[in-house]
Amino acid sequence: MKRILAGITPSGDGTLHIGNYLGAVRQFVDLAKTHERFLMVADLHALTTINGKEILKKNTETLIVSELALLGDLEGIVFFRQSDVPMHTELTWILNNVTPMGLLKRAHAYKDKLAKDTTLDEINLGLFNYPILMAADILLYKPNDVPVGRDQKQHIEITRDIAERFNKTFKSQVFPLPNPYIPEEVAVVMGTDGKRKMSKSLGNIISIFEDEEVIKKQVMNTYTDPTRIHADDPGHVEGNMVFTYLNFFGENQKTEELKNFYKEGKVADVEVKEYLYESLM
């Protein structure tokens, strides 16, 4: 049987949004019959942005509770907290010694930080070294597949590079090379603004465990068709984030019916959004 590993970092307040669910959690339900499943709460990775002990503890606990609620049945899933397994940091140190700095300088997170007028002296070593800890997270469990978004594919490429360097240095085949698992339909889960990937830091999310009024407001603010001025104008469903989300959460027949009505100008945006809200709840 194949093996899959995924990790979610307790960033922000530790709560999950539908992008987290579609991009990682749902894979563990879908792949139950074909894969051994390892799911990690990546609390060590959160240290690059969170310095307070109590904040990290609260965020981690919130994330664990959220994941348990979504997964329901944990049978067949190895669910663990990264910091409880010291081999993650031990392997990171070993991999440090076969990884050239040039490889890390090409990492997107590091380059993005530099591009935001941040000087080298302001970047902590944890952020620079982040890809090696991620490689250790993955290689430690020797998974065949790692679910990531298209924008995170580089992490797997770096991990494969590090594994090859280790195997070559020690003339062994200790680490098999993992593959990115990127279902096309969730390769990038766009946010409610229709412009950027769904992210808590960008404020373009639909939450999962928030108050109903908060979720309803997020749904009602979701990007639709900017060219549609009146409710009886024919509308576009392509690129319309409400219909994008309904493809995952709506009932198939009802969603297709609404798409046809929308294209014919027979249903208003608010009605479609109301149905998305009902489908999520």
Cα–Cα distance for residue pair 30/97, rounded to 1 Å: 37
CB atoms within 10 A of CB 200: 18
Q: Helices (H), strands (E): how many in the chain?
A: 12, 5
pLDDT tens-digit readout, 212-233:
889 999 888 888 888 888 878 8
First and final C-alpha spacing in the chain: 35
Q: Which residues contact 249 (CB under 8 A, 6 or more apart)?
A: 18, 276, 279, 280
Catalytically annotated residue among 197, 216, 263, 266 = 197
pLDDT tens-digit readout, 156-172:
999 999 999 999 999 99
* 59 neighbors 46 (Cβ within 8 angstroms): yes
Q: Is 195 a catalytic residue?
A: no
Q: Is 33 a catalytic residue?
A: no
The answer on pLDDT for 239 being more than 90 is no
- Place 251 in a pLDDT band, splitting at 50, 70 and 90: confident
3-class secondary-structure state, position 237 = coil
For the chain, give the mean pLDDT. Answer: 85
What the chain holds in terms of domains, given with CATH numbers, is 2-186 (3.40.50.620), 210-280 (1.10.240.10)
pLDDT tens-digit readout, 35-77:
899 999 999 988 887 778 888 888 888 888 888 888 777 778 8
Q: Is 153 a catalytic residue?
A: no
* Of 184, 195, 103, residue with least CA distance to 150: 184
* pTM of this prediction exceeds 0.85: no
Task: Name the H helices within 72-121.
Answer: 87-96, 101-105, 108-115
